[in-house]
């Protein structure tokens, strides 16, 4: 297991990743740092947990928009199976569950970071 130090909004975080994944984690960390700093300039002083959650929600929204524009079906549109949109509805529901799980993980991570 490799360790990578990430600087996000002026604070250093030590993160573990699989060996060989360090460059990608650094790139992702840099991307999150840029978004968090831009958001901090826009909204002013807010708690770090809220700032990181807002940044992650904005990034997730952008990702969802890109996947929708690319024709990747979203989840949770309320379609009934058998009406021609059932598979799409199932995919959308699954994506919503994944995003919800990611949001929960981010909240737990943010709470741990705020406590340290």
Q: Tens-digit pLDDT profile for the chain (116 aa)?
A: 899 999 999 999 999 999 999 999 999 999 999 999 999 999 888 888 898 899 988 888 888 888 887 776 655 444 444 455 566 677 777 777 777 767 667 666 766 666 65
The token pair that represents 3 in the structure block: 């360790």
The domain 1-45 having CATH identifier 3.30.70: the answer here is no
The token pair that represents 49 in the structure block: 């947990």
Beta bridge partners of 15: 4
The token pair that represents 79 in the structure block: 């379609």
Beta bridge partners of 5: 14
User: What is d(CA 62, CA 64) in angstroms, rounded to the nearest whole number?
Assistant: 5
Residue ranges per structural domain of the chain:
1-45, 47-116
N-terminal to C-terminal alpha carbon distance within the chain: 22
């Amino acid at each position: 297991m490799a360790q990578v130090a990430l600087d996000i909004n002026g604070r250093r975080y030590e993160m573990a990743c699989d060996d060989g994944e360090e460059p990608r984690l650094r790139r992702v960390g840099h991307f999150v740092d840029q978004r968090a700093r831009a958001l901090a300039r826009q909204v002013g002083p807010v708690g770090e947990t809220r700032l990181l959650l807002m940044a992650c929600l904005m990034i997730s929204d952008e990702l969802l928009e890109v996947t929708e524009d690319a024709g990747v079906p979203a989840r949770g549109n309320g379609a009934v199976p058998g009406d021609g949109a059932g598979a799409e509805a199932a995919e959308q529901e699954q994506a919503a569950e994944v995003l919800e799980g990611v949001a929960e993980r981010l909240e737990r991570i943010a709470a741990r970071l705020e406590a340290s």
